[in-house]
Structure 1
Amino acid sequence: MRVVMFGYQTWGHRTLRALLDSEHDVVMVVTHPKSEHAYEKIWSDSVADLAEAHGVPVAIRNRPDDEELFAQLKEADPDVIVANNWRTWIPPHIFGLPRHGTLNVHDSLLPKYAGFSPLIWALINGESEVGVTAHMMNDELDAGDIVLQQAVAVGPADTATDLFHKTVDLIAPVTVGALARIAAGETGFTPQNRADATFFHKRAEEDIRIDWTWPAETLERLVRAQSAPYPSAFTHHRGKRLEIVSAVVSEARYGGTPGRIFYREGDGVVIVAGPDARTGRNRGLAVTRVRTEDGRELPATAYFTSMGGYLTARP
């Protein structure tokens, strides 16, 4: 089939790589310009560079809604558009242009975690598995019929970086497998149950600020979700920003006020956590490594030289 590919960053790059290695003919690529957004500088393999290296025409757009691009797409005469990590709305006159429509590849197990940053949100929320879904695009966000879906388990120590590597390896088999079904003339794909749909926004500074009233189990997952190269989860100590690089849930239960710097346990320093921490029924977050405002990374036991005082959301 003749394929036009819409995509960006490493997700788009992996998709384009799979298409170039397949039996299909990539006739055009549309990608976004480089961005200075913190999250868009992560996993930033260039779709444009890969396309140009293989002699594929490239159009660079923030939004695909101009007449010039539409004319180029019509001239490319695609059988199908494949999209992965396209960051803005694709209008119906474009996603409906190809003979077989548009296949969107999304890094979640739809209908859950539609929208942005699905792996990070899924890890924070304690999901047991994540994955990749190829679905036909329609007027709603990540809502079309599912053509192919594959899942991988979330391990007890997995970081968002680990999950990225697990799921990015699914892009090629899911994309090529879905195209095989389309090329074979199949149309009876699986409708999504919209009652199960959840939608998530892009990550921002406020989303990595630690709230010590959250349960320690959730905070431990937040720290893993904000693993390098993502910005670390942070709090404040004595008015200065303090990043939490690694942490575990405490073995013992600790009572008091959320955010209290309480006790050394093993290789960590326990911070009281949870909405009902006063009851003493909660485990705390045992912080093991921190990064200071000036960029120094050190063991929490070396940073917290005495117990007492509080970690706070704001300076």
Structure 2
Amino acid sequence: MTTSHKTAVVFAYHTVGVRCLQALIDGGFEIPLVISHADNPEENIWFESVAALCQKHQIPILLDPDLHQPDIQAQIARIQPDYLFSFYFRQMIPTQVLALAQLAALNMHGSLLPKYRGRVPVNWAVIHGETETGATLHVMEVKPDAGDIVSQEAVAIGPDQTAYEVFNEVSLAAVTALQKVLPALIRGQMPRSPNDLSKGSYFGGRKPADGLIHWESSSADVYNLYRAVAPPYPGAFTMLGKNQLIVTKAKKLPPYSLPSSMGLGLRVQNEQIIGVCADFGGLLIEELRLNDAVINAQNLQKLLNNLTNA
């Protein structure tokens, strides 16, 4: 095709969806249709709204259509899109829909592929103590995050950054990765390099229950879990009896910085809340919550005493 503009149908949600959609608009793409998700009222909606951006630019939007339905596929087919783009869309797009792209179907993934394919890649990278992640634009195939790499942008992960802080940087990196190749995509050209799956792994989704702290782990592992699920994510938590206590703000205490006599788990020391791990390091807990109420050291000591005397 020799036209100076290209048409795209965009599947988008979340902050990355907003920012990459805006990049396409700014880059000169014609966008006749966006497909997104309705916000879940049970979810903490801390991210930007694709629907609001579409309203601003008067772009038609469908929320949670069944992509397997022939009428939806026919609606996309009538557009004859040069590209399909997926930006943090939460469903696998059927192969029948991917095939409707005249040139390519491209997805933005929040890692440096082939590492951390699959769900919530930023959170997994932090859990594993990675020092680098990024954003990758790649060709969509039947297998998730397996297609050729079109563009990448790296992001450093600081030792004390939470997944939320890293995600904000990955959101910016996603726009940069997209912008680097937009001129070529507009011309109908697409740089691509192999995505060697043998050099990475696939990770599944995470549930709030996966935030349970195992104090018998190392202080590094517990601190990484805290960073990976700190608010606005559900948070790392521990149980005292039937009470679920969520660690919402903490610093790392290095191995062997705590006396071995303290025992594992939550403790109070010098009017401070400490989480003790197996290597006698752990967490200096600056904010601990029970049912959204902040628990101070005195409150915690009462809970500990009640549990001991029960």
Normalising by structure 1, report the TM-score: 0.86
Aligned length: 300
1:284 and 2:281 aligned: yes
- In the TM superposition, what whole-angstrom CA distance separates every residue of 1:235-291 from its partner, at most 9, and x where no partner exists? 1124311111223332415436963445637x84433323xxxxxxx2321332243
Query: Per the alignment, do residues 191 and 254 of structure 1 end up closer, same or farther by CA in structure 2, a change over 3 Å counting?
Result: farther
1:8 and 2:13 are equivalent in the alignment: yes
Distance in 2 (CA, whole Å) between partners of 1:77 and 1:289 is 55
Do residues 153 (structure 1) and 150 (structure 2) align? no
Whether 2:22 is the aligned partner of 1:25: answer: no
Counterparts of 2:235 and 2:63 in 1: how far apart (Å)?
31
Counterpart amino acid of 1:119? V
SS at 1:28 equivalent? strand
How far apart in 2 are the matches of 1:42 and 1:62?
Answer: 23
CA contact (8 A) 2:258 2:281 kept: yes
- Indicate conservation of the 8 Å contact 1:212/1:259, yes or no: yes
1:79-129 superposed Cα distances (whole Å, 9 cap, x missing partner): 111111111121112112112111101111111111211111111110011
Match of 2:260 in 1: 255
Structure 1 segments unaligned to the other structure (5+ residues): 275-281
Are the aligned partners of 2:248 and 2:289 in contact in 1 as well (CA < 8 Å)?
no
Return the letter of the residue paired with 1:224.
R
Counterpart residue number, 1:270:
274
Contact 1:134 1:178 in 2 (8 A): no
> Hey, what's the Cα distance between the residues in 2 that align with 1:170 and 1:10?
12
Q: Could you tell me the percent identity over the aligned residues?
A: 28
Q: Distance in 2 between matches of 1:116 and 1:261?
A: 31
Match of 1:296 in 2: 293
In structure 2, relative to structure 1, the CA distance for the partners of 1:164 and 1:100 (3 Å cut) is same
**AA paired with 2:293?**
R
Residue 119 (str. 1) matches residue 116 (str. 2): no
Deviations, residues 117-150 of structure 1 (Å, cap 9, x unaligned): 1111111110011111000111110110000000
Q: Which residue type is aligned with residue 276 of structure 2?
A: V
**Preserved contact between residue 19 and residue 171 of structure 2 (Cα < 8 Å):** yes
Corresponding position of 1:172:
175
Q: Which residue of 1 aligns with 2:89?
A: 86
- C-alpha distance in structure 2 between counterparts of 1:309 and 1:109, whole Å: 48
Deviation at 1:303, TM superposition (A): 4.0
Structure 1, residues 217-250: CA drift from partner, whole Å, max 9, x if none? 1111211222221112111124311111223332
Distance 1:94-1:294 versus aligned 2 partners, 3 A rule: closer
SS in 2 for 1:283: coil
Residues in 1 aligned to 2:30 and 2:222: alpha-carbon distance in whole angstroms? 46
Amino acid aligned to 1:14: R
Letter aligned with residue 296 of structure 1:
A
Residue number in structure 1 paired with 2:218 = 215
Q: Which amino acid aligns with 1:28?
A: L
Q: 1:291 to 1:249 in 2, by over 3 A?
A: closer
Q: 1:294 to 1:138 in 2, by over 3 A?
A: closer
Corresponding residue SS for 2:59 = coil
Partner Cα distance (1:95, 1:239) in 2: 48
- CA-CA distance at 1:6 after TM superposition: 0.6
- What is the DSSP-based 3-state SS (H/G/I as helix, E as strand, rest coil) of the residue aligned with 2:170? helix
- Structure 1 stretch 153-162 or stretch 289-298: which is displaced more? 289-298
2:135 paired residue number: 132
- CA displacement, residues 34-78 of structure 1 (integer Å, 9 cap, x when unaligned): 223536x341x2212321321222222254111111111111121
The residue aligned with 2:3 is none
Matched residue of 1:206: which SS?
helix
In structure 2, give the amino acid aligned to 1:83: S
CA 1:309–1:258 in 2, change beyond 3 Å: closer, same or farther? farther
Q: 1:49 to 1:248 in 2, by over 3 A?
A: closer
